[in-house]
Structure 1
């Protein structure tokens, strides 16, 4: 006899959880200067399980000072790329060796299903390996004017990088910023999301064991409006990399502007998945189910608007709703679980408000609230609305949960208008067997990334970022190297100097002012 959901809703507490979570500044675990803390909740019970140090301006000042000393006086920026690469490979080794433990803690802290958290831990190791290799293999530009001039590009680390990370897949997304920032010789101050500080607290031990020098990595916990804002405004932090909500990105943009900081911001999304009548429907349904319900729907690239060509619309909706109803909701630690508990009761309340809004905007065909057998915890049944008009809020606004809106279209032009008819432009997914249509639609859609007949399968060499309200700048591959380095052009004259001469003693002597530029 199989277990009911209620019989497997226990939430085992991982062993050796910290009694409190501290900052990590200049090689030491420290409390906040003012002693402030905040509660961290277990998403299954919504009860506090630990207190974390609540960072403020004084704590950020300490962390930035340590990072700046390590940059100005320490060995890290001056190591050869190969030497830094060896350290980053050791980081990857340590992450891989403890992937099960990392996944256990991440699952407990975020509510992500354990199998998906394990995949994210392994991806974190791969991020470090990728940038460890890239920083050694990179080739910078050189330009010759034969016999006249040689020009080349010299890359230099910039300084203290401020890294502000979100609460969905936190450990992996922290690695996505830490790896290139460290690989290029910068020092860092990391401000993790306040909902999920547990796995971030492990970085200090991992990086120290791998051989990262003291002061290179610093971490300040706290609320975004306190610790995050202090980091953005700090005059000695020339770089900010942020992943999070578009509204927060606007505030960061404004607060960083007086200091002319370098900014890379990956923001919100409301990505379309466009399904044409000639698509492989089984593959499209599988991919779009995974694309919006994996990671509990808490993913920036979720294809949360599905646009379906009318000849196959009814069949698609029926099959999609039936499959969504079979998605397994369960305790995050259970390997059978496909959708776990949302990260925090505040976020749960937001998602539930959108579901209530959706009842008046579309036709509910699956889910619609708390799943049976889960009377407590931040659980939401995979929810599907059909016949959603483009002006609906659930079509226009980012929900960031296991909720999808399905809308029909009649022509390719209408599909493109629907796809582009929101303020966001992060990702898009196109399902068709027409090669011409696939490429022309991909070029016309307002999205930083497009997948054709595929779910979100990333190649780490490609740029990651969005357009419109979905972001500013790109990271990934060489774009990350570009962001975390100064690119200095060096020009060398070969042979005699070629200079126009001002101020000759004899005004009748000819000058070289009309000589062509040596380029």
Structure 2
């Protein structure tokens, strides 16, 4: 497939595409060639101010939160239809921008449409409160109200899926938003703006400001008229966002880094566990937040499993992300490529044995790293403790169930974990002992959109998905109604004491 030049990427503010106030731009690079794709408007504090003002007007004065739920959700469903109608273009832009294989971005695009359908249906089913009759004298009831303006900050590894994962519940519940996409992957956000506009969503409800975290992102987080911040990204950035937003007491939802273990016991289904381990770390070019980047393998199975891994990894198809046969494409950016390669060199210095790696000769200009397997790894090594976010799997043997649990928990992260065993009792025991927000037993990373998604420890705050997203994007208000007359304490009914007369 041809790597076509994309059009210039602009901000989307108050219903129109526009240049930045300062007129600055940055270059968006193709990770397959490291050649420019296009120029992107570089957002500033002034651009954020305009976007937030537009979102605030749309919330306070516009029809969005006041229209019937039926009419609002009809627009949300039209957005899903628009994504489906433009699915091939969106998948192409995503692969062009990120280096993800198009076979995977097609699935992510389908998920983007499903995000809007799911949250439309969820709001239709759950947009109700509770009633509390009190002694036949009062009726207390609750309603869920939209909060206001949300700041949505998304990462570069799965742009359209994660943007819609935030935008869909935000808009479905009646909020307005400003989206700040990752600067390394801006293309599909602008296509989403076109689709949202064509669906009839009023101007100002959805806005985009492109740019860098230190400027546009920081201004969005600190803005006093932004009540909600939903962020997916790296842990250190999440900490900085919390500091910047603390002065205005914002509500935060954060899905941060991970160093997720996959524990394979000797009694596991060998072939299924092998498939799942390979998929979990090498799909998405290894740039997946829930990647099983640490393989904890029972010692008696270690040599056989590693030999099978080496044989399978050597056959993974690395190549052009627009080729449907490609399984691993180039990493997102040269800067990230250097970071991942630095970890591979560090693994060697720490005493690990490195299998794989390097750039294919036929693609010398791309940000390619062949899938890497690290053996001889100890859990205290940096490559076993720090998030690499690339196609790198560290293998650590264990002897007992207790040791496997200890190793799994001996990191600062707690996003995901995977357990492979045919012993159902052990599966549940180990799953519940692991310190992570999500655990998959005898399964790869399969999602149900009703289930909570998020991590513990340094992997995040809060949960997204199902009613957890619903609760984040709404404010619960309690209304008290008196049912007839009832005694009210009387103040001020006693006669005032006479003032004493003072003789002079």
**Interval containing the TM-score (normalised by the shorter chain):** over 0.9
Secondary structure of the structure 2 residue equivalent to 1:166: coil
For 2:82, the equivalent position in structure 1 comes to 94
Q: 1:181-208: per-residue Cα shift (whole Å, max 9, x none)?
A: 0000011100000001111111221001
Contact 1:157 1:486 in 2 (8 A): yes
- Kindly state the Cα deviation for residue 372 of structure 1 after the two structures are TM-superposed: 4.2
For 1:133, the equivalent position in structure 2 comes to 121
Contact 2:347 2:354 in 1 (8 A): no
Task: Calculate the TM-score normalised by the size of structure 2.
Answer: 0.95
For 2:443, the equivalent position in structure 1 comes to 454
Could you tell me how far apart the structure 1 residues matched to 2:169 and 2:80 are?
13
Could you tell me how far apart the structure 1 residues matched to 2:489 and 2:298 are?
67
Could you tell me how far apart the structure 2 residues matched to 1:58 and 1:365 are?
48
Secondary structure of the structure 2 residue equivalent to 1:306: strand
- Kindly state the Cα deviation for residue 501 of structure 1 after the two structures are TM-superposed: 4.9
Could you tell me how far apart the structure 2 residues matched to 1:358 and 1:161 are?
41
- Kindly state the Cα deviation for residue 360 of structure 1 after the two structures are TM-superposed: 2.9
Are residue 171 (structure 1) and residue 160 (structure 2) matched? yes
Distance 1:471 1:78, change over 3 A: same
For 1:515, the equivalent position in structure 2 comes to none
For 1:356, the equivalent position in structure 2 comes to 345
Are residue 66 (structure 1) and residue 51 (structure 2) matched? no
Q: 1:461-495: per-residue Cα shift (whole Å, max 9, x none)?
A: 01111111100111111111111111112233445
Contact 1:164 1:191 in 2 (8 A): yes
Q: 1:278-301: per-residue Cα shift (whole Å, max 9, x none)?
A: 111111110010001111011100
Q: 1:155-175: per-residue Cα shift (whole Å, max 9, x none)?
A: 111111100110011011100
Contact 2:100 2:284 in 1 (8 A): yes
Could you tell me how far apart the structure 1 residues matched to 2:9 and 2:203 are?
19
Q: 2:416 aligns with which of 415, 427, 438?
A: 427
Contact 1:193 1:222 in 2 (8 A): yes
Are residue 257 (structure 1) and residue 246 (structure 2) matched? yes
- Kindly state the Cα deviation for residue 365 of structure 1 after the two structures are TM-superposed: 5.4
Distance 1:148 1:413, change over 3 A: farther
Q: 2:367 aligns with which of 342, 356, 378?
A: 378
- Kindly state the Cα deviation for residue 271 of structure 1 after the two structures are TM-superposed: 0.5
Could you tell me how far apart the structure 1 residues matched to 2:442 and 2:134 are?
46
For 1:284, the equivalent position in structure 2 comes to 273
For 2:498, the equivalent position in structure 1 comes to none
Contact 1:14 1:105 in 2 (8 A): no
Could you tell me how far apart the structure 2 residues matched to 1:152 and 1:258 are?
32
For 1:41, the equivalent position in structure 2 comes to 29
For 2:219, the equivalent position in structure 1 comes to 230
Could you tell me how far apart the structure 1 residues matched to 2:409 and 2:286 are?
21
- Kindly state the Cα deviation for residue 502 of structure 1 after the two structures are TM-superposed: 5.4
- Kindly state the Cα deviation for residue 351 of structure 1 after the two structures are TM-superposed: 0.5
Structure 2 spans left out of the alignment, 5+ residues: 496-504
Where in structure 2 are the equivalents of 1:61-460 lying within 5 Å?
Answer: 61-138=49-126, 139-145=128-134, 147-364=136-353, 366-460=355-449
Contact 2:32 2:99 in 1 (8 A): yes
- Kindly state the Cα deviation for residue 276 of structure 1 after the two structures are TM-superposed: 1.0
- Kindly state the Cα deviation for residue 137 of structure 1 after the two structures are TM-superposed: 0.4
Are residue 55 (structure 1) and residue 10 (structure 2) matched? no
- Kindly state the Cα deviation for residue 98 of structure 1 after the two structures are TM-superposed: 1.1
Could you tell me how far apart the structure 2 residues matched to 1:14 and 1:126 are?
28
Could you tell me how far apart the structure 2 residues matched to 1:277 and 1:143 are?
54
Task: Calculate the TM-score normalised by the size of structure 1.
Answer: 0.93
Could you tell me how far apart the structure 2 residues matched to 1:414 and 1:404 are?
19
Could you tell me how far apart the structure 2 residues matched to 1:505 and 1:27 are?
62
For 1:14, the equivalent position in structure 2 comes to 4
- Kindly state the Cα deviation for residue 27 of structure 1 after the two structures are TM-superposed: 1.1
Could you tell me how far apart the structure 1 residues matched to 2:210 and 2:302 are?
47
Contact 1:276 1:431 in 2 (8 A): yes
Contact 1:308 1:409 in 2 (8 A): yes
Could you tell me how far apart the structure 2 residues matched to 1:348 and 1:263 are?
30
The size of the alignment, in residue pairs, is 495
